[in-house]
Amino acid sequence: MYVCFGALKRGFLAGCRRVIGLDGCFLKGMLKGELLTAIGRDANNEMYPIAWAVVEIENTDSWRWFLDLLKHDLDINNTHHWTLMSDQQKGLVNVIKELFPNSKQRNCCRHIHANWSKKHRGKVMKNHFWICARCTTEADFLEQMNALGKVNDAAKTDLEVYDPRQWCKA
């Protein structure tokens, strides 16, 4: 079941940036399955629901179906000025490349941090991660990554696995 109310669609197109956050979560109540969501940010930087769907399982086919309907509902023909943000789910990454070929893909820093911090815990590591994520120039990013490496070289190496163009401001 896919839902994209006309009022939400019009509001998103009229007042939000062309950035869409995509995520899925398990439904654990009476109804089993997964909830796929597309969320924007309004002028007050608050979450703005665009569309959602209930699917049996989160996989490449369900994401393709969901994003194809979303693209049609938002009348997106030229994907060049759009940014789609996700949690690095492999099936989703490939579908975005297929349906939104000219868009920018970004990864959610919170998801990256959650995965990375399983091996690199503590306040110092957390602070270094978020300093790197908030860097606005490549030079600053490299400097902060080197600072992280001086504290914990393995933490730096593990963070280098992620393409900084997809999670850092720089």
CATH number of 2-107: 3.30.420.10
Rounded to an integer, what distance in angstroms lies between the CA atom of residue 154 and that of residue 13?
Answer: 43
> Given this model, what pLDDT does residue 91 score?
81
Integer CA distances (angstroms), 113 to 57, 74, 131, 134, in order = 25, 31, 12, 13
- Contacts of residues 138-144 at CB distance under 8 Å and 24 or more positions apart, as own/partner, are 138/170, 140/170, 141/168, 141/170
> Given this model, what pLDDT does residue 161 score?
92
- Would you call 119 helix, strand, or coil by DSSP? coil
Q: Which two tokens stand for residue 152?
A: 């914990």
Q: Where are the domains of the chain?
A: 2-107, 109-164
b/e map 14-40, b = 16+ CB within 10 Å: eebebebbbbbeeeeeeeebbebbbbb
Could you say which residues of the chain have pLDDT below 70?
A: 170
Rounded to an integer, what distance in angstroms lies between the CA atom of residue 69 and that of residue 54?
Answer: 13
* This prediction's pTM: 0.84
